[in-house]
């Protein structure tokens, strides 16, 4: 695997449960020994930002440790620390990272976002493969409201937004979800900033349009309908096809951002283990546990 290639295939105290989740994620899928060269020393994984940064940091640190190198987790350890070479790797999401490095980037499809991110990075930083797991903006309605409006997709809600209040979590805003809604022609009657998924549930019970992200445990509620966005293209699918409709909300796949020329082949392969194994459902389960216990 080469970095920046197209994809093929949550300060101080670390929670014991988070470490257990991390260990479970990499157990049984350790990368094989590809060479006998010693790995890097003094690797520091930062926790980045957001409620699940420490979880993702432990996942990547655990995978890297299995290659035989010493790895510590630093909290805080954000993009500024990465830029200053105080940390080696910071986990993040493709769309948020692209907005950071190129705020005007228009891409929303997963492959397009990843490719654009690779181009936007400073020369001393790079990324490895992104995971299927993502924390993407998503709109939800109660069963009753969805049935009353007769909508099932994001493209169908734009013309009805003037009738609705949007109840948006901080995560939804961080993904650029409000801007994406405006660009799609959705101008709601009001925007209500809500704290968490429980507040979204309460708002949708009142008929509001809930706006959160896909890793939220609220999405497992049977009483909520997630409005379908246009799907991401499959790798290699033609982006110029006449019927190719990009998603309204930008992809937010989990991805490791790290300093270039630090890791060897073993470590890069270990990072790919996360890309191949971590799912959005895994993130939702972890977020639910953290919400109940932290």
> Which residues partner with 256 through β-bridges?
91
Instruction: Please state, in angstroms and rounded to a whole number, the distance separating the CA atoms of residues 44 and 39.
Output: 13
**The predicted structure's pLDDT at residue 204:** 95
Q: In the chain, what percentage of residues exceed pLDDT 70? A: 81
Whether pLDDT at 79 is above 60: yes
Whether pLDDT at 22 is above 80: no
**The predicted structure's pLDDT at residue 289:** 58
Convert the pLDDT of each residue in 237-282 to its tens digit: 776 665 678 999 999 999 999 999 999 999 999 999 999 999 988 8
Categorize the per-residue pLDDT at 142 as very low, low, confident or very high, splitting at 50, 70 and 90.
very high
Categorize the per-residue pLDDT at 50 as very low, low, confident or very high, splitting at 50, 70 and 90.
confident
Instruction: Please state, in angstroms and rounded to a whole number, the distance separating the CA atoms of residues 272 and 141.
Output: 36
Supply the mean pLDDT for the chain.
85
Whether pLDDT at 292 is above 80: no
**The predicted structure's pLDDT at residue 14:** 34
The predicted model scores a pTM of 0.85
Tokens (6 digits) for 58: 């432990």
Instruction: Please state, in angstroms and rounded to a whole number, the distance separating the CA atoms of residues 48 and 228.
Output: 29
**The predicted structure's pLDDT at residue 11:** 34
| Segment among 47-51, 87-91, 197-201 with least mean pLDDT | 47-51
User: What average pLDDT score do residues 199-226 get?
Assistant: 88
Number of Cβ within 10 Å of residue 212's Cβ equals: 29
The CA–CA distances, whole Å, from 183 to 70, 89, 176, 180, 212 equal: 46, 33, 11, 5, 18
List own/partner pairs for 105-110 with CB under 8 A and 24 or more apart: 107/246, 107/250, 108/180, 108/246, 108/247, 108/248, 108/249, 108/250, 108/251, 109/232, 109/233, 109/239, 109/246, 109/247, 109/251, 110/134, 110/232, 110/233, 110/251, 110/253
């Amino acid at each position: 695997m080469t970095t920046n290639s197209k994809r093929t295939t949550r300060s101080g105290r670390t929670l014991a449960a988070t470490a257990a989740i991390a260990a479970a994620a990499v157990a049984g899928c350790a990368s094989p020994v590809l060479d006998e060269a010693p790995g890097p020393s003094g690797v520091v994984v930062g926790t980045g930002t957001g409620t699940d940064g420490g979880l993702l940091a432990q996942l990547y640190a655990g995978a890297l440790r299995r290659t035989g190198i010493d790895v510590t987790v630093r909290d805080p350890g954000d993009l500024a620390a990465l830029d200053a070479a105080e940390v080696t790797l910071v986990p993040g999401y493709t769309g948020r990272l692209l907005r950071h490095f190129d705020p005007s980037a228009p891409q929303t499809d997963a492959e397009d976002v990843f490719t654009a991110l690779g181009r936007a990075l400073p020369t001393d930083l790079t990324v490895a493969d992104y995971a299927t797991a993502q924390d993407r903006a998503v709109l939800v309605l109660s069963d009753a409201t969805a049935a009353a409006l007769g909508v099932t997709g994001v493209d169908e809600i734009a013309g009805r937004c003037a009738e609705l209040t949007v109840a948006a979590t901080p995560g939804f805003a961080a993904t650029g979800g409000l801007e994406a809604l405006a660009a799609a022609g959705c101008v709601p009657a009001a925007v209500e900033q809500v704290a968490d998924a429980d507040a979204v549930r309460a708002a949708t019970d009142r008929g509001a349009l809930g706006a959160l992200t896909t890793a939220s445990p609220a999405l497992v509620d049977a009483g909520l309908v997630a409005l379908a966005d246009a799907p991401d293209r499959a790798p290699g699918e033609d982006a110029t096809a006449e019927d190719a409709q990009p998603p309204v909300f930008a992809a937010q796949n989990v991805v490791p951002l790290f300093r270039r020329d630090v890791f060897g082949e073993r470590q890069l392969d270990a990072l790919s283990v996360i890309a191949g194994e971590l799912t959005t459902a895994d993130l939702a389960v972890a977020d639910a546990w953290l919400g109940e216990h932290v």
